[in-house]
Structure 1
Amino acid sequence: MNTLLRSLLPLLILLLLGSKPVESKKYQRCELTRVLVENYNFDKTFISNWICLVEHESYLDTNKITKKDNASKNYGLFQINSKDYCAEGRKGGQCNKKCEDFSNDDIGDDIACAKMIQEREGFKYWKGWDRFCRNPQNLPNLRVVCNLRSLSPLRSPRFTIGG
């Protein structure tokens, strides 16, 4: 038995190292602000709207999944809905993505889809934004809290993120 265990142990280690578990991330407000501006070239003019939206939709958690009354689910940081914008278990929807891909720490695909939604439907698509962030007085003052003025894009983004 001991010999069998010794021969299987290296194989088990290789299997564990080769498989990458789905990672999730819970951001802090200023950390996400920095990532969105520096890595994804978000327009500083609208960054408070995006941060407020994410705080009220997913509580800054990339792994958040919310079941809705209409049997659909909202996925990830931006709570993208499975009814119109992604498909469960396969690529689909208007963003042509698997919904499950929005529930990991790779937020690039989430951002591309959220940007498309915002361009088509505005921030009002998100109930959290509509309820808590519509009034500009309710938006976080990232200029002061996160030193927004000091942030600038670090590189050319794969895609442009604006309003």
Structure 2
Amino acid sequence: MRLGALLLAALAVLVLVLAPGPADGRTVGRCELKKALGDAFHLYVSPRFKDYLLAKVISCLERISHLNTSLVRVFSQESENEEDDYSEDDDERPHMYFGLHGVFQLRDNFHCQSGVRTSRNYCQKDCSDFANDDITDDIICFVRSETWRQIFYISCGYEQGIQYILSQCGE
């Protein structure tokens, strides 16, 4: 078995051990998320654009995380650096690992510190803080880091349907 595959397996076991169990997470309701995000967006988004943005963000989050607060996903990708001189079967080929955490799938190389890799740790949080049932710190990080702006470049589909559903939430 290749060294890279062993490292990936070890990382997956580490994430499974450290990740919160089902009792530590929950599925966030659309209306709860609309209210919490809407309150957080008040400084960043004009009121006339806020409902569209909320519909777009929530529809994308439903597809990405299913609004599951405990979702942690780990990905691996072999380095494609042309300067590296590795043979096809070389066990020393570097791998890039990254994890996505919580409802907003915040990255462990930018938003938080996972303990598995180096991170900018923009939000000054441990990644496990984004995989529990309290979404307050997740929302603060998502909004302040302006990660929500990346949603504009993602086509998630049914924003109009979500916009109608969110209109039923009330204020």
TM-score of the alignment, normalized to the shorter chain, above 0.5? yes
> Which among 127, 133, 141 is matched to residue 161 of structure 2?
141
What is the rounded CA distance, in whole Å, between the counterparts of 1:22 and 1:93 in structure 2?
26
2:98 counterpart of 1:66: no
| Structure showing greater Rg | 1
2:78 counterpart of 1:86: no
Structure 1 residues 105-148: Cα deviation after superposition (integer angstroms, max 9, x where no partner): 11111011111232xx6532x6xx64433xxx641434422335
For residue 7 of structure 1, what is the aligned residue in structure 2? Answer: none
Cα deviation for residue 35 of structure 1 reads 4.3
For residue 55 of structure 1, what is the aligned residue in structure 2? Answer: 62
Correspondence 1:8-157 to 2 at 5 A: 23-37=24-38, 40=40, 43-69=50-76, 70-89=96-115, 93-118=121-146, 123-124=149-150, 130-133=153-156, 138-147=158-167, 150-151=170-171
Q: Taking structure 1 as the reference length, what is the TM-score of the superposition?
A: 0.60
Structure 1 residues 10-58: Cα deviation after superposition (integer angstroms, max 9, x where no partner): xxxxxxxxxxx97311123344324433x65664342112202211221
Is there any run of 5+ residues in structure 2 with no aligned partner, and where? Answer: 1-21, 43-49, 77-95
What is the rounded CA distance, in whole Å, between the counterparts of 1:41 and 1:148 in structure 2?
20
Is there any run of 5+ residues in structure 1 with no aligned partner, and where? Answer: 1-20, 152-163
What is the rounded CA distance, in whole Å, between the counterparts of 2:126 and 2:163 in structure 1?
35
What is the rounded CA distance, in whole Å, between the counterparts of 1:108 and 1:30 in structure 2?
15
Higher share in strand = 2
Aligned CA distance change for structure 1 residues 74 and 149 (closer, same or farther; 3 Å): closer
Deviates more, 1:48-57 or 1:77-86: 48-57
Contact conserved, 1:143 with 1:149, CA < 8 A, in 2? no
Deviates more, 1:54-63 or 1:73-82: 54-63
1:78 counterpart letter in structure 2: F
2:68 counterpart letter in structure 1: D
SS at match of 1:46: helix
Contact conserved, 1:52 with 1:140, CA < 8 A, in 2? no
Aligned length: 122
Identity among equivalent pairs (%):
25
Deviates more, 1:59-68 or 1:39-48: 39-48
